[in-house]
Amino acid sequence: MENYTAAPDLLKAKTILVTGAGDGIGRTAALTYAQHGATVILLGRTVAKLEKVYDEIMTISAPEPIIHPLDLQNASDEDYRILGDNILEQCGQLDGLLHNAAILGPRTPIQFYPVDSWMQLMQVNVNAPFMMTRALLPALQAAPEASVIFTSSSVGRKGRAYWGAYSVSKFAVEGFMQVLSDELRQTSSIRVNSIDPGATRTAMRKAAYPAEDPYTLKGPEDLMPLYLYLMGSDSKSVTGQALTA
Ligand code: NAP
Average pLDDT, the chain: 97
What's 216's domain CATH number? 3.40.50.720
- Residue 196: CB atoms within 10 A of its CB come to 18
pLDDT at site 150? 98
CA angle 125, 159, 24 (to 5 degrees): 40
CA of 184 to the centre of ligand 1 (A): 27
Do 26 and 32 touch, CB atoms closer than 8 A? Answer: no
Query: Which tens digit of pLDDT belongs to each residue from 33-81?
Result: 999 999 999 999 999 999 999 999 999 989 999 999 999 999 999 999 9
Residue located nearest, by CA, to atom 6 of ligand 1: 20
CA of 98 to the centre of ligand 1 (A): 12
Would you say the CB of residue 121 lies under 6 angstroms from ligand 1?
Answer: no
pLDDT at site 35? 98
Asked if residue 225 belongs to a domain, the reply is yes
CA separation for the pair 67, 175 (Å, rounded): 29
Q: Which domain holds residue 236?
A: 15-244
Asked if residue 4 belongs to a domain, the reply is no
CA separation for the pair 76, 69 (Å, rounded): 13
Asked if residue 9 belongs to a domain, the reply is no
Asked if residue 8 belongs to a domain, the reply is no
Would you say the CB of residue 90 lies under 6 angstroms from ligand 1?
Answer: no
Tell me how many domains the chain contains: 1
